[in-house]
Amino acid sequence: MDIYIITKDEGANLTKFNILGEYDQEKDALISGFLAALNNFAHDMDFPEGVSLIRSGSLEARYSMGKYVFTVLIIDYSMPLGGMMTEPILSGMANEITERFESLYEEQLIQGQKNKIYKSSMFVDFNKEIEAIIEKYMQETFELYQKLVLIEAMYAKVPQKHCLPLLERASEGENIIPFLKDIPDQYQSQLKKAIDKVNSSAAPVWEIFQVPTTNYQPFD
């Protein structure tokens, strides 16, 4: 996953974050220029909010607009990112990155907009903020994963009396996956089907946020 933060008016790339720590200045400049051009084209075509989402092949570019900048998450995936339950995760993270960046650097952004020049060295430390935001969403995504497993298990006819107490504990931030083995044996086959369904339904999202989907399954 790559994260670009680009000025809205000038299309200047202020900072780029790669979850694996991979950087290529020449390539990053080309990509950020392309992303800015797409957004400007959308404005020129009377789309007031600009671009929000672009998908092509295995790539997705997800935009989040701020007052001075926009953030773009670029994700390479081999299958669709999942359904309605996981969709807000990526959008929420992109929005939070944009809001956090503008709250920290509003003075520099106003000055850069006025002078038409930005020093990217000013924004290098923001990568630490991105790491903290990603860590937060890792925890929230794992909680969502556990809840989806339990909800899907109830749809699969695992009795609520076995699922609801675990659902409540998951909502309180507890890791309940090890306790799935305590669900009676006669319901373990339905539970396994529920876990398999949740694992596959949003596999790219679980991978991005390092949700331990397989290691925590109580099955051989």
All domains in the chain, ordered by first residue: 2-124 (3.30.450.70), 139-208 (no CATH)
By the 8 A CB rule, do 82 and 204 touch?
yes
What is the model's pLDDT at position 131? Answer: 94
Q: How far apart, in whole angstroms, are the C-alpha atoms of residue 78 and residue 22?
A: 20
169 by Cβ neighbours in 10 Å (0-12 / 13-18 / 19+) ranks as middle
Q: What does the pLDDT average to over 90-109?
A: 95
pLDDT of 220 above 80: no
Residue 85: pLDDT band (50, 70, 90) is low
Q: How far apart, in whole angstroms, are the C-alpha atoms of residue 122 and residue 151?
A: 46
| 41-73 pLDDT per residue, tens | 877 777 766 677 888 877 888 899 999 999 999
Residue 214: pLDDT band (50, 70, 90) is low
Identify the helix (H) or strand (E) that includes residue 49: none
This prediction has a pTM of 0.81
| 13-25 pLDDT per residue, tens | 999 998 777 778 8
Record the tokens describing residue 51, joined without a space.
């671009």
pLDDT of 28 above 70: yes
pLDDT of 6 above 90: yes
Give the single-character DSSP code of 2.
Answer: E
124 by Cβ neighbours in 10 Å (0-12 / 13-18 / 19+) ranks as exposed
